[in-house]
Amino acid sequence: MANNSSYAPHPAPEAEEVYRRWLHFLDEEFTRHHSQERRSEIVREQLCQIYLGRPHRGALNLTLTSELPGNVLSLSLDPQNVTLEAGHFDDIDRQKFNERKPLLWFWQMFDRSPIGINHWLGLRFRCMLGRHLFAHMGQGVRIFHGVDLTYGYNLSIEDGVTIRQRALLDDRAGITIGKGAVIGSFARVYSHTVSPENPGKATLVPTTIGPGARIGSHAIVLAGQNVGAGELVGSFPADRG
């Protein structure tokens, strides 16, 4: 009987070549261009092809009622026409956020697209984009589908970190995730608190996840909590091996 423990699913060689060329192209474009306007144009063009199967066509016919739904979709693929919740927070660094807003929109819309659940491609796409979004992005990081970010620029991820699907990283005040740490599926890591008496006022407190720490699925790490090296937070299935 074949041993499947060392088998890693892989795309066909021609598909892998195309995937790698696309990621390399995007990496070079985001390295070369930092303005919100140019990054928005790049993201708009990519999302038009991903969602509509065609390049961006330029000016739309905005007068025909019959074309309104299509126009709404086309316009919403341009990050400059999109508002994000984080853009309303009063603690935002406007310059850093504006530079990254197109990339945050790309991050979200990639994962919501049909190709976003392509596991091999998705892991590499998020790491590529993370290098342009985060304060620090280590080597050998794995970020799974649907991970939610706030600003991105206050997030520091060290080597070998794994972040499972649908985790929330609220980096308003800053989150540091140490080498080899694991954030479980649907976990919540916060770096701000609000008072019940004044829910509109946020208190910012950085949060640290130590090297080798493990945050269990659906666990919550509160703002300002310093999870020690190798510490476990939450519950984990019993080892029945």
The domain that holds 202 is classified in CATH as 2.160.10.10
- Is 98 in the same domain as 190? no
Asked whether the predicted pLDDT for residue 213 surpasses 70, the reply is: yes
Confidence of residue 241 (pLDDT cuts 50, 70, 90): very low
Q: So what's the pLDDT on residue 61?
A: 73
- Contact present, 233 and 221 (Cβ < 8 Å): yes
- Is 139 in the same domain as 129? no
- Is 211 in the same domain as 176? yes
Q: How far apart are CA 214 and CA 197, in angstroms?
A: 33
Mean pLDDT, rounded, for 188-193: 96
Query: Residue 27 is part of which domain span?
Result: 17-133
132-153: per-residue pLDDT in tens?
999 999 999 999 999 999 999 9
Q: So what's the pLDDT on residue 121?
A: 98
Q: How far apart are CA 187 and CA 106, in angstroms?
A: 22
Mean pLDDT, rounded, for 106-118: 96
Q: What is the pTM of this model?
A: 0.91
Asked whether the predicted pLDDT for residue 65 surpasses 90, the reply is: no
Question: Among 133, 149, 178, which residue terminates a domain?
Answer: 133
Asked whether the predicted pLDDT for residue 185 surpasses 90, the reply is: yes
- Is 75 in the same domain as 152? no
Mean pLDDT, rounded, for 176-200: 93
Residue 100 belongs to a domain: yes
Residue 26 belongs to a domain: yes
Mean pLDDT, the chain, whole residue set = 93
Question: Among 95, 111, 133, which residue terminates a domain?
Answer: 133
Q: How far apart are CA 233 and CA 197, in angstroms?
A: 29
Mean pLDDT, rounded, for 193-199: 83
